[in-house]
Every structure is written in C-alpha cells, then in structure tokens.
Amino acid sequence: MIGQGYRLHGRDPNVKWGTQATDPIAAREVSDYTYTTEDFLATVPGSQELRAYQNEARSFARVDGRMNEGGSYDVVTKPSLLASDPGSLGGPAYVEVGLDEVLNYTTTDGSSTTQQWVLYNYAPSSVEFYSYKEPTVQKIHPTAGLTKGGTFVEVIGTWFKYMPEYGIVPHCRFGDKIVRAHFDSSVRLVCQSPPNTDVTARLPFAVSLNGIDWSTTRFEYSYYEEPVMTGIQPDMGSVQGGDEIFISGAKFTGNTDPKEFKCRFTPVSLSIPAKTVSARFINSTTIMCPSPGGWSEADRMIL
C-alpha cells in the first residue's frame, strides 16, 4: 500500500524493494483502499487463525509504519520479478513506491545537446518486506484422522521458516480449513487437524509461511468417524497366526490410505509389545484382519 495522502494521478508507478527497482505497474492496477483492521483481516482466508500472529508480533519491536484506522491508501500488487530472482531472497528490504520523473535539459557547452535526467520521486517508507524460498513437502503422517479433529500431523519437507517479526508464521490447510502450524525445524512442522464432517473425499493438503500464499502438495488428508466394533469372528486361533478375523461394527470407511489402515493386537497377560497387521475394508460394517503370529504362548488379546 502506498502511504496515506500520496497519489499517482493516473500514472504508472514503480516499486523498489530495497535497492532493487521493478518494472512499472500499470496505473489501472492501482486502486483506492480505505483501511480498517477488521476489513483487512477479513480479506485473508483463515483470518481467525492469522490473528494468532497479531498477538505474537507484539513481542517484537515494530519497525514499519502503522496504518491509520480509516485512512485512505493506494493499493498495488507485488510484481513477480522479486519471486523469480534468487538473489532477492532474504531481507528485510524497505519498500518504496513512486514515479520515475524524466527531465529533459539542454547543455550549455555550445553544442545545445538535449539530454535526459531521471528523478526518482519515491514516497518515504519504513515498510519492510522479507522474501523467502517456497517450502516443499515430502511427507505427511498420518494422512487421515477423526472428524472431531485434533490429530497431530507431522509434515516433513524443506525450507520451513518461523520469523514472526516479518510475518513468516507457518500454516497448514486441510481442504478449505486453515490451522496454525508448530514450527519444529526447517524440515519439520506439526499441525493439528481441524474438525471436519466431510468423510466422502480426500482433501488436498497445503502449507504456507505467510497464511496467504500456499505451496500445493501431492498429499491428501481424509476424515473418518470413530468406528464402533461390536464383535469378531472367530474369536480364537493358532499362536502361529494367519487366521482371517472378521470384525463387525459400524462407521468403517475405505476412504483412507490403505497402507495406514491397521489392526492392533495387544496381549492381556504376556509382557510383550502389541503387534499390528494390515486391515482390509469390506464394507461400512465389516473389516478383516489376519491374526499375527509368533507368540511364545497362548494369551487373550485386546483388539
């Protein structure tokens, strides 16, 4: 945004990011804007989650200029030049918007040569901009969770950052729902899945470092209702394992990653670890799990 009271009078402005000048922005892309905090936050998807950044940023010394509530500003869109230039990463850079005034003058050395001189007429600014490398996601786990939300999802990737003083606060998006991410390191985030009643589809998963620009991934996240188990058949088998055990109940789903669909058998009396096996979805009331083998002796199991 260009400072209050500054006007371009229909001319094409330039934007400087630190010492780097951009190509002109068409004047038709500059619009008038009356600033209010509430209206501005409402333009950002997941604005309620982004309010957490406001509280967080208060612990850092402010370096940019405040925007006046109800003030009138000009709005310009950031050109793509900065993002395409690897040398522009980092910062912060001070942002200035203005006009390149071309002045013609004639020399007085006898030759009467007309020359040009460019006057860079930019409005003073203390607004800072920080450029970061777009993060990538290589793995998420688990890829499904309960409709009530609250599942901790580990996100493994590269170029994650947390610099709230520059507005760099990681977020995760599950379908159209946005949550704040916990920054663990530059290669690991942890997000708690938000509640969602949609159990019919796998939702696209994305991450963002500013809550506005999203890095799409090839990963999807599914929701399911907590299943209810009412019986198993048969209810006993060989310690060697391999028996097909059919579990009856309700709210089973085949809309999750088959590699993560498992049954766990926990011994009641034996002091040995539980064993997990892959489950097979049959329908919403029945699934099948092969019994694990390798037990040293017979025991009752909790499924």
Domain spans in the chain, listed from the N-terminal domain onward: 14-35+70-131, 136-224, 228-302
Residue 148 is predicted with a pLDDT of 93
pLDDT in tens, 60-94: 666 556 677 877 766 655 555 444 454 556 666 77
Residue 56 is predicted with a pLDDT of 65
Distance between CA atoms of 118 and 99, rounded to whole angstroms?
Answer: 10
Give the burial class of 55: count Cβ atoms within 10 A of its Cβ; 0-12 exposed, 13-18 middle, 19 or more buried. exposed
Domain 136-224 matches domain 228-302 at the CATH topology level: yes
Residue 153 is predicted with a pLDDT of 96
Beta bridge partners of 232: 247
Residue 86 is predicted with a pLDDT of 47
Residue 159 is predicted with a pLDDT of 93
Domain 228-302 has CATH 2.40.400: no
CB 72 within 8 A of CB 34: yes
**What tokens were used for 281?**
């979805």
Predicted TM-score of the model (pTM):
0.67
HSE on the CB side for 231, CA within 13 Å? 4
pLDDT in tens, 254-283: 878 788 888 888 888 877 888 888 888 899
Residue 23 is predicted with a pLDDT of 60
Residue 25 is predicted with a pLDDT of 66
Residue 4 is predicted with a pLDDT of 45
What are the strands, taking DSSP E only, across 133-284? 136-141, 144-146, 152-158, 171-174, 177-185, 188-192, 203-208, 215-224, 228-233, 244-250, 262-267, 275-278, 280-283
Task: Extract the residue ranges of the chain whose pLDDT is less than 70.
Answer: 1-13, 16-32, 40-41, 43-66, 73-92, 107-112, 120, 123-127, 297-301
CATH topology of domain 136-224: Immunoglobulin-like (2.60.40)
